[in-house]
Amino acid sequence: AQSVSQHNHHVILSEAASLELGCNYSYGGTVNLFWYVQYPGQHLQLLLKYFSGDPLVKGIKGFEAEFIKSKFSFNLRKPSVQWSDTAEYFCALNTGGFKTIFGAGTRLFVKA
Amino acid sequence: DADVTQTPRNRITKTGKRIMLECSQTKGHDRMYWYRQDPGLGLRLIYYSFDVKDINKGEISDGYSVSRQAQAKFSLSLESAIPNQTALYFCATSDSGTPQETQYFGPGTRLLVL
């Protein structure tokens, strides 16, 4: 069965620290991968997505993610976090059907 | 100017009561979804609809029903609420019908069943 794993449920960083949130998926075929973000009190919104081409995908607000097929991973990165990045981050997978599968989410708290 | 709205935003109800959560969208999308979010479990799909005449069960549809009254409206009902339906419920829409589609979410409805 297809699944998405996010290893860290909670991450606490200081401002200007580098961020990497892990995401691994289980599926052997073609994948479409997403990172969504939910800021406090706001809707979930798309941060970035990968479906083909360059495995390094750049999104909004300085975020990027790298698709590594051999590792079944799609980790989210940001070189220097800000207090405003405090949010919950969801990795998601679509393998071509009607359904997008979401990971459990990672809550990021950035200390000012 | 929210594109996907949900009402109510918060609701407390009692076990056995019937409750309806409503979702409206102004994006003109055909596809609509209902998810529930539980801590540590992420978002799980309850029902989805590809158009007004097409409604499908998701992975956790037991205890829920839906109605697609129009392209813009998709309601979720709990016929007889139970405490383990306490959760955050999200409505979402999408337009392309492709695996690369972006979903657009409402603000969520926080439901507490006593």
Using one digit for the tens of pLDDT, what is the confidence trace for B7-51?
999 999 999 999 999 999 999 999 999 999 998 888 999 999 988
As given in the structure block, the two tokens for residue A7 are: 């290893």
Q: Is the model more confident about B95 or about B89? A: B89
State residue B2's pLDDT score.
63
Contact of A45 with chain B, judged by CB distance below 8 Å, is answered with yes
Between chains, do A96 and B99 touch, taking CB under 8 Å as contact? yes
- Asked whether residue B1 carries a pLDDT value surpassing 60, the answer given is no
State residue A21's pLDDT score.
97
Chain A residues in contact with B35 by the CB 8 A cut-off are 102
Would you give the end-to-end CA distance of chain A in angstroms?
41
d(CA B112, CA A12): 29
Q: Distances in Å between the alpha carbon of B86 and those of A103, B78, B79, B91?
A: 20, 11, 14, 16
Contact of B34 with chain A, judged by CB distance below 8 Å, is answered with no
- Residue with tokens 């000012």, as numbered in its chain: A112
Between chains, do A51 and B106 touch, taking CB under 8 Å as contact? no
Between chains, do A49 and B56 touch, taking CB under 8 Å as contact? no
Optimal mutation site among A89, A90, A91, A98, interface B, most CBs of chain B within 10 A: A98
d(CA A7, CA A9): 7
State residue A13's pLDDT score.
97
What percent of chain B has pLDDT above 90? Answer: 82
State residue A99's pLDDT score.
80
A57-96 pLDDT, tens digit per residue, is: 999 999 999 999 999 999 999 999 999 999 999 999 998 7
